[in-house]
Amino acid sequence: MKFFTFLFLLGAILGFNKADAQIDTTLLKRTPKDTSSLQLNMDAVYSRPFLTIGKLPVALGGYVEANWQHLGTDGVTEGHQFQMRRLTLFVASTIYKRIKFLSEIEFEGGTKEINIEFASVDIEFHPLLNLRGGIVMNPIGAFNQNHDGPKWEFVDRPVSATQLLPATWSNVGFGIYGKLYKNNWVYAYEAYLTNGFDDQIISNTENKTFLPASKANEDRFEESFNGVPLITAKTAVRHRLIGELGISYMGGVYNKFQEDGLVFDKKRRLHVFALDFNSTIPITKTWLNTEWAFINVDVPDTYSQQFGRNQIGGFLDIVQPVLRTNILGFERSVVNAAVRLEYVDWNREKFNETGGDIGDDFFAVVPGISWRPTVQTVLRLNYRYNWQRDIFSNPASKTAGFQFGFASYF
Amino acid sequence: MRLLLFGLHALIVCIVLFSCENFEPSAPPDDSLLDGPVEGLSEAENIRFINGDVAFNDEVFIPETGLGPLFVANSCGSCHPGDGKGHPFTTLTRFGQHDDTGNQYEHLGGPQLQNRAIPGYQPESIPAGVKYSKLTPPANTGLGYIDAVSDQDILSWADPDDIDGDGISGVPNWVEMKDYLFARPGTVEVNGKYIGRFGKKGAAYDLLQQTAQAYNQDIGVTSTFEPFDTYTGLEADPEISDQTVQDVVFYLKTLKAPIPRSTQNEEIMAGKLIFNDIGCASCHRPEMKTGPSSIAVLSDKTFYPYTDLLLHDMGPGLDDGYTEGSAKTYEWKTPALWGLGLSKFSQGGGYFLLHDGRARSIEEAILLHGGEGEASRENFQSLSESDKSKLVKFLENL
């Protein structure tokens, strides 16, 4: 509560100052971006534009995403939709030399969902050994940690990141991380023990093994569902010219196998492996970004095959800057052409009854144009076309349409 | 120049805004879909249809909302994708009854096997040596029309002693009526039993019984209609409202009848003549009429289901040793053939035909006919390949 009061007061101070319009603008300063070293996906939470206010030891920031869309599925459309996807507020503070704090509070769909996505204290003992504790974002893949809307050229988040992996997925826990720089290389690792998933992943109205279902369990911020920590670990390497490659793992027990000493079931585990890679082709400045996840869940044999044991999915974004010029007074604006290719298979099993493949898969192609009047703001026009099949692989339902929106740090 | 660029972009945005639907997938042709309401529903009926549609196709049960503990499927749509025929994945298995004296294995989980269970529970198994039938979930098309056929019409098609000597008898399945059902006006009662018309054996009197039992036996959901939990056998609080069950019943009653894709194709027209010539139409009656219905648009309508709603001896090859109501183990209700050609679009690209999905093609289904269907099968076998092809095209067009 005190935290929110503090936040409100800061907001009020800022708002008052803005309304005044006679403010000494030197009071508000942008925290300069750290360009001294190679940045990795794991740095995304701190690599954001912050505003500092005078000598206040707190930096503030956030971003906002809103859009219009008109999508239709097999001839049926919900018409014009205007959506306030999310408003996110950051508060960062250097508590003492190498001790810092950052929090990220997100309002999604208006106030339908309010989540503390990140709220942790980092203590640096050594560049190779930092302790992080609090609400942390599990470093599975790249998108989960590097998900800010203004960084992406697409209105929708990747389906593989939100409907296969549970981005944004955060939990209470502790962990360590560190980085090592050597010439043009940087190596990094992260490892956390946190609360984790619950049995909603195989018991949900999505009718599929669905890791994001556990996001509905808000109790995970105060107690573990089964007392077994979720392990998340990632290692990444980046070369200044080649790009960044990340390999990550997340695993643990998802079911409540016992309570009050009474055994309900055996421990059932899930394992998630993810690979991510991003690079910029030097000559064309084409940016490539991809992430693929492989999921294995121990689903009881006697349960329904509707809930798959093995899943796979990922996306590839290709972004090509096509114009860097002054547009409407924005001196360094950039126009990009982009395309996203997406694939998710929620069930890679075969039917016990027929031996045939189980469908439940999804493909999408999303071409788009984006305009960045500044680095921190993006306007984007996407055309989405996706195909989704049911578990029987019946003819796919097709969804397509335009989306237009903006995302901006503030 | 910049102003021009700006104007161009504004124009593009306007074009996108006002012509978006041209860039979206168009609706599949109406005759390629099984779902959708009958024409002429009132606005109030449209609302009930949508409510039933959502409950039937969108509602997925989880343990917290009533799934199981023992179940076969976790939603209506799992068994009837797109309101079409089901896939072997959700085939039902029933056991424990071999004559009209009722099910002898209700104490051991009969009549229906719940072959799946939520975590922590063990599903049922069929007691050793007990015979069973596997039943592929049927399509839901046009059920309201079938519900509105009069008992008198059904009885007029029956010929239990084969008086006309065509080798086809046909009898109704006489079943006991559940205490929560209301008899249709003009319904026929014989010795406290009524004509069943839904289900592979025709053991369900109406769609309320079919729906309430499906929620209970297939999904493990109790209702005021079927209040007994399939795991404990004890009466339980209802896990679904009467209103939802009734909305689903209304939805099933008002689903449209399948629309033949082509009516003028010569091969298909020839196939229809062959269908009649070789005797298929003796059981698969092309045309019926509804009587009065509480849903105005279903009253006094002619429709084309290709069934007679009667039980027929289908021979030893299709005798599983299990039955329901007064049907014999070798008797099966003539399945409606309308929508047959669309089955593969709900069954994963191939056919799973006959009561248990054993036939992987229309030809194979015909060749598995025995008993009263034997003569027609032999007539089919003696057709030229060309005529067989025309017949199959006609059936696929239904």
Domain ranges of chain A: 31-409
Tokens 């098309």 locate to: B141
Token readout for B351 is 């056919």
pLDDT at B7: 66
A392 closest CB neighbour out of B2, B81, B122:
B81
Structure tokens at B64: 């917290």
**Residue in A76, A327, A400 nearest the CB of B23:** A400
CA distance B89 to B115: 11
Interface probe, candidates A304, A366, A393, A402, chain B, greatest B C-beta count within 10 A:
A304
Tokens of residue A93, six digits:
């503070």
The residues of chain A scoring below 50 in pLDDT are 1-23
Q: Which residue in chain B is spatially nearest to A73 when comparing CA positions?
A: B25
Listed in sequence order, the residues at least 6 apart from B138 whose beta carbon sits closer than 8 Å to its beta carbon are B80, B85, B86, B200, B335
Position A3 scores a pLDDT of 43
DSSP B396: H
Among residues 385-404 of chain A, which lie with CB inside 8 Å of chain B? 390-395, 398-402, 404
Mutate to test the interface with A, among B19, B87, B219 (most CBs of A within 10 A): B87
Residues A116 and A172 sit within 8 Å (Cβ to Cβ): no
Is the torsion defined by CA of A75, A78, A82, A84 positive or negative? Answer: negative
Which chain A residues are Cβ-neighbours of B63 within 8 angstroms?
203
Q: Is B291 on the interface with A (CB under 8 A)?
A: no
A258 → chain B, closest CA residue: B120
| Residue B154: exposure state from Cβ atoms within 10 A (0-12, 13-18, ≥19) | buried
* CB-closest option in B60, B82, B122 to A205: B60
Nearest CA in chain B to A369: B9
Measure in Å the smallest separation between the Cα of B165 and chain A Cα atoms. Answer: 42
CA distance A335 to chain B (A): 13
Name every chain B residue with its beta carbon within 8 A of the beta carbon of A394: 81-82, 345-349
Three-state DSSP class for residue B102: coil
Is residue B22 within 8 angstroms of chain A, CB to CB?
A: no
Give tens-digit pLDDT for A277-307: 999 999 999 999 999 999 999 999 999 999 9
Q: What three-state secondary structure class fits A231?
A: strand
**Looking at CA atoms only, how far is residue A388 from chain B in angstroms?**
13
Given CB atoms, is B28 within the 8 Å cutoff of chain A?
yes
- Selecting from 1.10.3720.10, 3.40.50.2000, 3.30.1330.20, 2.40.160.10, what CATH number does the domain A31-409 have? 2.40.160.10
Tokens of A361: 């898969």
The residue in chain B having the minimum alpha-carbon distance to the alpha carbon of residue A394 is B348
Contact list in B for residue A71 (CB cut-off 8 A) is 24
- Identity at B96, one-letter amino acid code: G
pLDDT at B10: 67
Q: How far does chain B reach from its first CA to its final CA, in angstroms?
A: 61
Nearest to A203 among B63, B116, B346 (CB): B63
Residue A280, chain B, CB below 8 Å: the answer is no
Mean pLDDT for back-to-back runs of 10 residues, chain B (398 residues) = 61 68 90 92 97 97 96 96 96 93 90 95 94 96 96 96 92 96 95 96 97 97 97 96 98 95 91 97 97 95 97 97 95 97 95 97 98 97 98 96
Of B23, B116, B346, the CB nearest to A303: B116
Nearest CA-CA distance, residue A173 and chain B, Å: 28
Q: In this complex, is the C-beta atom of A376 within 8 Å of any C-beta atom belonging to chain B?
A: no
Contact A394 B117 (CB under 8 A): no
A-chain residues within 8 Å CB-CB of B118? 203, 303
Residues of chain A contacting B2 with CB distance shorter than 8 Å: 327-328
* CA distance linking residue A298 with residue B116, whole number of Å: 16
Nearest CA in chain A to B24: A400
Residues of chain B with Cβ-Cβ distance to A264 below 8 Å are 119-120
A302: contact with B, CB 8 A cutoff: yes
- Closest residue of A to B22, CA-based? A401
For chain A, say whether B119 makes contact (Cβ under 8 Å): yes
CB B220 within 8 A of CB B68: yes
Q: What is the DSSP string of A23-62?
A: --GGGEEEPPP--SS---GGGTTTSS--EEETT-SEEEEE
Interchain pair A404, B6: CB under 8 A: no
State how far residue A393 is from chain B, nearest Cα, in angstroms.
5
> What pLDDT is stored for residue A38 in this prediction?
79
Q: What is the pLDDT of residue A53?
A: 79
Distance (Å) from the alpha carbon of A297 to chain B's nearest alpha carbon: 13
Strands (E), A150-242: 170-182, 185-194, 230-239
Query: For residue A174, how many other CB atoms are within 10 A of its CB?
Result: 16
Cβ atoms A142, A131 nearer than 8 A: no
Please state, in angstroms and rounded to a whole number, the distance separating the CA atoms of residues A242 and A234: 19
Residue A399, both tokens? 């969804």
d(CA A222, CA A234): 24
pLDDT number for residue A26: 59
Inter-chain touch B2–A302, beta carbons under 8 Å: no
Contact A72 B119 (CB under 8 A): no
Nearest by CB to residue A199, choosing from B88, B119, B121, is B119
Question: Domain boundaries in chain B?
Answer: 31-397
What residues in A contact B9, CB-CB < 8 Å?
none
Measured over the CA atoms of residue A66, residue A71, residue A73 and residue A77, the dihedral's sign is: positive
Helical (H) or strand (E) element with B176? strand B173-176
CA-nearest residue of chain B to A70? Answer: B20
Residues in chain A within 8 Å Cβ distance of B75 = 207
Q: Which residues of A185-215 are buried (b: 16+ CB within 10 A; e: fewer)?
A: ebebbbbbbbbbbbbbbbbbbebbbbbbbbb
Residues of A with Cβ-Cβ distance to B82 under 8 angstroms: 394
Search chain B and give the residue with CA nearest A401.
B24
Q: Answer whether A357 touches B (CB < 8 Å).
A: no
Distance of CA B217 to the CA centre of its chain: 16
B121 part of contact set with chain A, CB < 8 Å: yes
Pick the residue from chain A with its C-alpha nearest to B25. Answer: A74
What's the complex ipTM? 0.92
Return all residues near B190 (Cβ < 8 A) that are at least 6 apart: B174
What is the distance between the alpha carbons of residues A177 and B267, in angstroms, rounded to a whole number?
Answer: 73
CB B196 within 8 A of CB B213: no
Instruction: Kindly state whether A325 is in contact with chain B, defined as any CB-CB distance less than 8 angstroms.
Output: no
* Tokens, residue A1: 């509560």
- Chain A nearest CA to B115, separation (Å): 8
